[in-house]
Amino acid sequence: MSEQEGSDKIYDVVIIGGGPAGLTAGIYAMRAAMKTVLVEGASSVSQISTTDAIENYPGLAGTNGLDLVAIFKKQAVDLGLEIIPDDVSAIRWLASGGTDRWEVFVGDQSYKSLSVIYATGANWRRLGVIGEDNFVGRGVSFCATCDAPMFKNKEVAVVGGGDTAIQEALYLTRFVKKVTVIHRRNRLRATAILQQRAFSNDKIEFLWDSVVEEIQGQNMVQGVRVHNLKTGEDTILPVNGVFVFIGLNPNTGMLHKLIDLDEGGYIKVNANMESSARGFFAAGDCVAKRLRQVVTACGDGANAAYSAQLYVEDIKGEAY
């Protein structure tokens, strides 16, 4: 790749991602008077902007995702944060004799920086069936922790057979009338203890050897067409919600040769959000951790920005 000069400026930090993690990092970096630019992404949006109601973000119960991201963004912009509405296509480490730095490529521009905060989130793996995209936020969900209360006393389907699917099915039973777990095999992949809990829960039923082929409804989800892989039979299962738990894909494709990722492609970080590479910090859903929520993404973003601040001050000989 030829080096292109988008900006002669050397930034203290380039933040990649305009979701809760990236924007929180932006707020902290601006308040620390760091020379900062945030690339927010153009071909994707923050996952949280796809949901109608967030009830578990402290202090703002009942807001919708789009509004929440707008509030974060306004706060960052009011502090003077420069935001580029584009995608990062590549990142490289420049060890060129002088001060080591990163170069972040955006379209035909590149941004050089002493540090990077990577906060590109993750994408829930989708079923790829008819109706799925149309009903996201209107019955199709990828997050029981977030959306379960909206299905109080209703019937829902959970798609998947791993730990997450079964954990989330169990969680859903606290709210819904009935959960049907639809799994493509004839047994679960989830750990034994979760299986035992699910099998002994009266609210959970199983459809084995089955796949969802279509999600149906008018304004909201009303049912799914389920195909039995053994018998070849199609049936309509009437449900108000479909929770899809067939895995997450972290948006870390461009990092494979740069920093250490776990087997799922998540960025390995320590408690200070430092990755395996000097000056490269990560935050939010793209890091290896247990709970992927707005509140944890914000916490990661704040920690990553503070670590980047200390790192940059150290390089500049400004450590306090």
Ligand X SMILES: Cc1cc2nc3c(=O)[nH]c(=O)nc-3n(C[C@H](O)[C@H](O)[C@H](O)COP(=O)(O)OP(=O)(O)OC[C@H]3O[C@@H](n4cnc5c(N)ncnc54)[C@H](O)[C@@H]3O)c2cc1C
The question of whether 286 is a catalytic residue gets the answer no
Among 295, 314, 316, 319, binds ligand X (CB under 6 A): 295
- Pick the stretch among 42-50, 191-199, 218-226, 258-266 that binds ligand X (CB under 6 A): 42-50
- Number of alpha carbons in the 13 Å side-chain half-sphere of residue 169: 34
Q: Between 165 and 297, whose beta carbon lies closer to ligand X?
A: 297
**Residue 144 touches ligand X, criterion: CB under 6 A:** no
**Residue 51 touches ligand X, criterion: CB under 6 A:** yes
Shortest Å distance, C-beta 52 to ligand X? 9
**Residue 68 touches ligand X, criterion: CB under 6 A:** no
Q: Between 62 and 317, whose beta carbon lies closer to ligand X?
A: 62
Which residue of the set 147, 286, 298, 300 is catalytic? 147
**Residue 143 touches ligand X, criterion: CB under 6 A:** yes
The question of whether 143 is a catalytic residue gets the answer yes
Q: Which residues contact 262 (CB under 8 A, 6 or more apart)?
A: 268, 288
- Pick the stretch among 114-122, 169-177, 189-197, 222-230 that binds ligand X (CB under 6 A): 114-122
The CA angle 318-268-4, to the nearest 5 degrees, is 60
Q: Between 176 and 188, whose beta carbon lies closer to ligand X?
A: 176
**Residue 40 touches ligand X, criterion: CB under 6 A:** yes
**Residue 176 touches ligand X, criterion: CB under 6 A:** no
Among 14, 30, 104, 121, binds ligand X (CB under 6 A): 121
214 phi/psi in degrees, rounded to 5: -160, 145
Q: Between 206 and 243, whose beta carbon lies closer to ligand X?
A: 243
**Residue 251 touches ligand X, criterion: CB under 6 A:** yes
**Residue 88 touches ligand X, criterion: CB under 6 A:** yes
- Pick the stretch among 11-19, 148-156, 199-207, 271-279 that binds ligand X (CB under 6 A): 11-19
**Residue 17 touches ligand X, criterion: CB under 6 A:** yes
**Residue 44 touches ligand X, criterion: CB under 6 A:** yes
Indicate which residues carry an active-site annotation.
143, 146-147
Q: Catalog residues that contact ligand X under the rule CB under 6 A.
A: 16-22, 39-41, 44-48, 50-51, 54, 56-57, 87-88, 119-121, 124, 141-143, 146, 251, 284-285, 292-295, 297
